[in-house]
Amino acid sequence: MLDLEKKLENLKTPEIELLSHKQKLRALLLERYAQKQVFSPFKGAVPLGFALIVLFALVLRFPAFQRQDIALAKEIALRDADFKLLIEQGGIIKETQLSDSKAYMLVDLGESDAGNTQKLAAPLSVSGLTFLVEVDFKEKKVSQIKELSQPSLSFSQKEEAAVREISQQSERVKKEIPLEAEIKEIRPVLIQLKLVKKGNKVEVLPEKEAMIIYQKNGQSWEGMIDLKTASVKKIELVGEKE
Amino acid sequence: MSPEEEKDLVKKAKIDSEAFGRLYDEYYSKIFGYVLKRTGNLEIAQDVVSETFLKALKNIKKFQWQSFFGKKPLFGAWLYRIASNEIANFFRHKKPAISLGSAPDPVFGKDLFGEIVVAEQKLKDCQDFLLIQKEILGLPEKYQEVLVLRFFEKKQIKEIAEILGKREGTIKSLIHRGLKKLRQKMPPI
């Protein structure tokens, strides 16, 4: 039996990892985690009956709690003169998130309309094109309209390593770029701003992709990598570079 | 990651998704490797690993560093235990595949397909492993677990004991009997 034991100890085993599966499962787990947090106060520790009584009391005590949804947030916001003007000037509500007794909206103003924002009574800057609007359900009013500045972007070492790995594993890269081409630069590119719910808070976070520059013998290729789906979205030859 | 760092991270992971993500990053490859070596099949491995981490997410709040035969099991051992149970469940019920979301976009699909083709080839390149793995798969489950953990995952006896929730002496005896049974099934070496 020792021979078998020795053979098993020295056996070459497969070292395989499926990066696409890993990334997609990670995204699914984090999504489920967020859902779990939203519903967790009503699960497990708090008996269902007690939770129902509390809910019922809240509904009776605070009429605003009867309805705190996206439609109501829009309804309240449209009663605000500044918000109304923003929408009339071409502002588009990109995203809405609810948190506690507030709603948050991201409103995008197209570049062509940005110049008209001086008409707004609130002190809004004309340079920004995305606005964060906070609606207070209790007060039934818009409590804040804030212009969002462009965030400074960077990649952590882990993100950069992930970009390199996606590039290395990509069949598209292997097909379209010579094997000896080197990665000269990896740069984060802002795709859009997103509202992300973290516990009871809502934060504005940048959604970024990676621009990756490959070079070989003076020739350069530019690729775009989507970290969320772990995929290479675009590759193009951008010509000669010194 | 030291056991203390891991303990802190597990504590945070009960309330913080980012901490759970870090634990996932730390353990995905290990659990995937273990499940693949147990099943010898990439598709089944993906399903079982998905189910394992979904179970871990569901039960993370219940996870406690309980004393077990005088030892405190690490988070990794807990994950291996879930994976072992899921493998058993899979073969018992032949569960349908877990959907990781709506239909993948074409670019993602293309990359995953390419990855699987490469991975299948890597797996085929390990012919000796596949032959022995197939024989192990024919053994009762209790022997499969110990043999894969001991010889393919290179785990120490005490680690296996922790993962499977058994005493070290029991593990040694299971390995001995498992090897004996495997020897009977295998051609002479």
Q: What is the pLDDT of residues B79-127, one digit of tens each?
A: 999 999 999 988 887 654 444 444 344 344 446 677 888 888 888 889 9
CATH number at residue B164: 1.10.10.10
DSSP string, A199-235: TTEEEEEEEEEEEEEEEETTEEEEEEEETTTTEEEEE
| Nearest-angstrom CA–CA distance, B73 and B76 | 8
- Tell whether B88 and B131 lie within a shared domain: no
Examine the domain organization and report whether B87 and B157 are in the same domain.
no
Whether residue B71 is contained in a domain is answered as yes
Tens of pLDDT, residue by residue over A8-63, are 988 888 888 888 899 989 999 998 888 776 655 555 555 666 666 666 655 555 44
Residue B63 near chain A (CB below 8 Å): no
Residue B111: inside a domain, yes or no? no
Which fold, A68-148? Phosphorylase Kinase; domain 1 (3.30.200)
Residue listed under structure tokens 């520790």: A45
Cβ–Cβ pairs < 8 A, chains A and B: 137
| A233 in Cβ contact with A209 (< 8 Å) | yes
Residue A18, chain B, CB below 8 Å: the answer is yes
Chain A residues near residue B29 by CB distance under 8 angstroms: 17, 22
CA A238 to chain centre: 29
- Residues with pLDDT less than 50, chain B: 67-70, 96-110
Looking at the fold, whether B2 and B93 belong to one and the same domain comes out as: yes
> Residue B29: inside a domain, yes or no?
yes
- Last residue within a domain, chosen from B97, B117, B139: B97
Question: Which ipTM did the prediction report?
Answer: 0.85
- The residue written with tokens 């960077």 in the block is A154
Tell me, yes or no, if the two domains A68-148 and A157-240 fold the same way.
Answer: no
Distance CA B189, CA B183 (A): 9
Q: Quick count: other Cβ atoms within 10 Å of Cβ B27?
A: 23
Distance CA A233, CA A94 (A): 23
Rounded to a whole number of angstroms, the distance from the CA of A187 to the nearest CA of chain B is 21
Strands (E) across A78-129 are located at: 92-99, 102-108
For residue range A134-154, what is the model confidence (pLDDT) as tens digits? 999 888 899 999 888 877 888
In this structure, the answer to whether residues B23 and B78 fall within a common structural domain is yes
What residues does each domain of chain A span?
A: 20-61, 68-148, 157-240
B58 lies in a domain? Answer: yes
In a domain, B136, yes or no: yes
Return the pLDDT at B108: 43
In a domain, B70, yes or no: yes
How many domains does chain B contain in total?
A: 2
Cα of A198 vs its chain's centroid, Å: 12
Residue B119 lies in a domain: no
pLDDT of residue A49: 65
Rounded CA gap, B93 and B89, in Å?
A: 6
- Whether A4 and B182 lie within 8 Å, measured CB to CB: yes
Q: How many other β-carbons are positioned within 10 Å of the β-carbon of residue B102?
A: 6
Is A29 near chain B, with CB under 8 Å? Answer: yes
CA distance B24 to B60: 12
- Out of 3.30.300, 1.25.10, 3.40.50, 3.10.450, the CATH code matching A157-240 is 3.10.450
pLDDT given for residue B106 in this prediction: 39
Nearest-angstrom CA–CA distance, B122 and B16: 36
Same domain for B156 and B87, yes or no, is: no
The count of residues in chain A is: 242
* CATH code, B6: 1.10.1740.10
On whether residue B184 sits in a domain, the answer given is yes
Is the pTM above the cut of 0.90? no
Tell me the HSE value of A145 on the side-chain side, using a 13 A CA sphere: 27
pLDDT at A162 exceeding the cut of 50: yes
Q: In whole numbers, what is the pLDDT of chain A averaged over residues?
A: 79
Per CB-CB distance under 8 Å, the chain A contacts of B128 are 11-12
d(CA B149, CA B161): 10
A21 CB neighbours in chain B (<8 A) are 32, 46, 49-50, 100, 112
Burial class of B48 by CB neighbour count within 10 A (0 to 12, 13 to 18, 19+): buried
The range of the structural domain enclosing residue B81 comes to 1-97
